Every structure is written in C-alpha cells, then in structure tokens.
Amino acid sequence: MSTILRLLGRRLAALPLMVLGITLLVFLVLQAAPGDQASSALGEGASEEAKEQYRQANGLNDPLLLQYVRFLGKLLQLDLGVTTPPAKSVASMIGSAFPLTLQLTFLGVIIAVVVSLVFGIIGALYRDKWQDQLVRVFSIAAVATPSFWLGILLIQWFALGPAAMFPSGGIATPESGFGGWLNSMALPALALGIPVSASLIRVVRTSMVEELDRDYVRTAIGNGVPYREVVSKNVLRNALVTPVTVLGLRIGYLLGGAVVIEMIFALPGMGQLILNGITNLDVNLVQGVVLTISVTFVLVNIAVDLLYLLINPRIRTV
C-alpha cells in the first residue's frame, strides 16, 4: 500500500506542472490561429470602432503574457469564461456535454478490451493454426479501418439498411431507460472501440505467447498443474502488463476519436462544442474543451500507472 501511495503522490505532485504545460500550449496555439475574436463575436458587419471597444473590454490588446496570467487566474477559480454572444458559461456547457463523451469513451474501452482479450488469447493459444490466422486477418482489417468510416458503414448496415435495429444518431431520452440509452450508444461505441481493439489484439497475443514460452509454464505443467489453471492464474495476469500500457496510451485516441464519432452520430457531446468553438473562433470554448480532455487523459494515465501495481506485484519494487 505504501508503494501505491508513493506512486500516487509523485504523479499528483507532477500534475500541476503538466496542467500548466497543457494550458500554455493550448493558449499559444489558439492565439496563433487565424481570425479575429472581435469579428467573430460582433459579426463581420460591425464597425472597426465597435471591434476595438470589444478588444479593449476583453483585454485582447494586452500583451500575451498578461492575457495568459489572467487566464490562469480564472482557471484557478474554475472559471473558464463565457462564450461569444450569446454569452453562456463555458463550464456549464462542458458540464452538460462531457458526461456523454465519457460514457461513449467508457463503452469504447469496454469493447476494445473485451474484443482484444478474446481474440488475443485465442490467437496465442492456437498459435499458427487457422484460428490464429483468422485473428490476424481481423486485426489487420480493423487497424486499417478509420473509426469515422466504420461509423458510416455501421449506420448504413444497422440503422438505414435491411438489418436496421439501431438509431442513426442522437441520444435516447431519459424516459427510455438504460435499454434506450444503450441502444443509441451501441453503434458509436462499436465505431470507436473496434479500431482500437485491433492494435491491442496483437499486443495481447504477443504478450501471451512470450509468457507461454517461459520456463515456469513448462515447470508447472510438468508438476501436474492443469494447463487451464496455469493460463488463467499466471500467464494471463503476467501478460496483461504490456496491453495495459498500450491501452493507457490509447485512451487519448479514444477521447479524441469520441469527438469525431459524436459528430457523425449527432451526439451532443464535446465534439459539438469544439466544432462550434472553432467555427465561431470562440477561444474560451475551445480552450475549455481541449483543457478538459487533456487533463482527463493525464488523470487516466495516472490511474493506469496504479493499475500496473495491482496486475503485477513485481513492479511494486521499482
């Protein structure tokens, strides 16, 4: 437990520095983006005098360092500002949209983990046999399939085609219950999770094959331990360390991919917010969305680091 607490303490101590770097990068990129915030807020037909008054009132003419310090001051108060007219709280908009993105990402992770474990273990246990060849074909086809294209195919096959049984977009109302929610999230989650599972399948298979070839497996089997028990209690647990590492890195892809998938399936999540922010050159909205997703990615990787210790106790000595 002390090792876990020390690791958690080190990661949390480094978190403010990571967040500071993220905020600086996001701020500089958006400041360098083409366009004029005053024109976006007031409209192209606004007079230059009105635009200049808007810049003065919002501190857009101040030095970049002063603008950044002001942004950090508001951020420490959990104030992400307001959108361009009509003015709405960025924090409240993110609070409404982010849960849906998290739900979609969570379902995508579940699908990716289940598919990769099942196919990866089958490929390793039936090494170089026809089952393994089928797994390889599936993983190669899936890894070459963009999530947005797969989403469009899923809509054509299962929402608009003869086998239509899912909605083509939108989120179910609360009155529909869990079944309605799951029905509306099934296709987006599949489009998000299947491409990620492809890369994980190969990692799981490779890790399983390496563990199956180790001496302790042959020794345990030679001592009469059932093969299934050796695989389930020893091989699988040791082989999961590397896939968990890759999955932690893929969380960022899943969060970013969820933004794109939300646009295809008309889901009112973070994708809609960031598209509106970029279209309207709404710096506060884009900053808030990118910062929220980036910090979430950092926190997820901290959780993955802690998960290492639970999967493989040998790492606790590091």
Please say if the pLDDT value at position 134 is more than 90: yes
Confidence of residue 3 (pLDDT cuts 50, 70, 90): low
pLDDT per residue as tens digits for the range 40-94: 777 667 777 887 887 787 777 788 888 888 888 888 887 887 777 677 888 888 8
Question: Which has more confidence, 214 or 6?
Answer: 214
Mark out the alpha helices in 126-281 (DSSP H runs).
130-143, 147-155, 177-212, 215-222, 227-230, 236-239, 241-264, 270-279
Domains contained in the chain, CATH given: 1-88 (no CATH), 91-311 (1.10.3720.10)
Q: How far is it, in rounded angstroms, from Cα 62 to Cα 180?
A: 50
pLDDT per residue as tens digits for the range 290-318: 888 888 888 887 777 777 777 666 555 55
Please say if the pLDDT value at position 160 is more than 70: yes
Please say if the pLDDT value at position 225 is more than 80: yes
Please say if the pLDDT value at position 176 is more than 70: yes
Q: How far is it, in rounded angstroms, from Cα 36 to Cα 28?
A: 15
Amino acid at the residue 250: R
Q: What is the dihedral of CA 142, 147, 152, 156, to 10 degrees?
A: 40
Its sign, for the CA torsion 159, 110, 196, 272, is positive
Most confident of the ranges 27-31, 96-100, 177-181, 230-234: 96-100
Contact 108, 258 (CB under 8 A): yes
Using only C-alpha atoms, what is the Rg of the chain?
Answer: 24
Q: Give the pLDDT score at 4.
A: 66
Q: How far is it, in rounded angstroms, from Cα 214 to Cα 312?
A: 16
Q: What is the dihedral of CA 184, 190, 193, 194, to 10 degrees?
A: 180
Q: Give the pLDDT score at 239.
A: 82
Please say if the pLDDT value at position 110 is more than 70: yes
Other C-beta atoms lying within 10 Å of the C-beta of residue 237: 14
- Once rounded to an integer, what is the mean pLDDT over residues 86-110? 87
**Could you tell me the maximum CA-CA distance found in the chain, to the nearest angstrom?**
87
Question: Which has more confidence, 36 or 71?
Answer: 71
Query: Any residues with CB less than 8 A from the CB of 74 and at least 6 apart, and which?
Result: 80, 81
- Residue of 234, 207, 233, 196 lying closest to 120 (CA atoms): 207
Q: Give the pLDDT score at 190.
A: 92
pTM (predicted TM-score): 0.83
Amino acid at the residue 131: Q
Q: Give the pLDDT score at 111.
A: 92
- Residue of 266, 267, 257, 259 lying closest to 286 (CA atoms): 259
Q: Give the pLDDT score at 119.
A: 92
Question: What is the average pLDDT value for the chain, to the nearest integer?
Answer: 82
